[in-house]
Amino acid sequence: MSTDSNVVYIGRKPVMSYVLAVMMHLNSSNAKDVVLKARGRAITTAVDVAEISRRRFMDTLTIANIEIGTEELPQDGGGTRAVSTIQITLKLP
């Protein structure tokens, strides 16, 4: 989990680690939503986390919003490169 109370940053860990983080966040606090943030190759993991959380563990969980974008990251040799980003907001009724 991150310093933002309702954000889970997706990285290189196994999918079920992030699913567990989503479930713990929604069950332990009185939060109604959680935001999954990922960029680059982790985007596929973020989509898997959202779908597994929604279909296998919490039937009432819905996808409230999906935002996609691009970030410019600096390269070692100078210049920048574009990296895709995604934010998936999961919400309880």
Q: Which domains does the chain have, with CATH numbers?
A: 7-91 (3.30.110.20)
Could you tell me if 54 and 62 are in contact, meaning their C-beta atoms sit under 8 angstroms apart? yes
In 10 A of CB 3, how many CB atoms? 5
Crossing angle of the two packed helices 43-52 and 15-28, in degrees rounded to 10: 50
pLDDT in tens, 14-63: 999 999 999 999 988 788 999 999 999 999 999 999 999 999 999 999 99
- Cα end-to-end span (Å), the chain: 22
Give which of 26, 29, 49 is closest to 37, Cα–Cα: 49
Specify the pTM: 0.87
pLDDT for residue 2 is more than 70 = no
- Give which of 37, 32, 31 is closest to 50, Cα–Cα: 37
Mean pLDDT value of segment 75-93: 93
Give the pLDDT of residue 28.
82
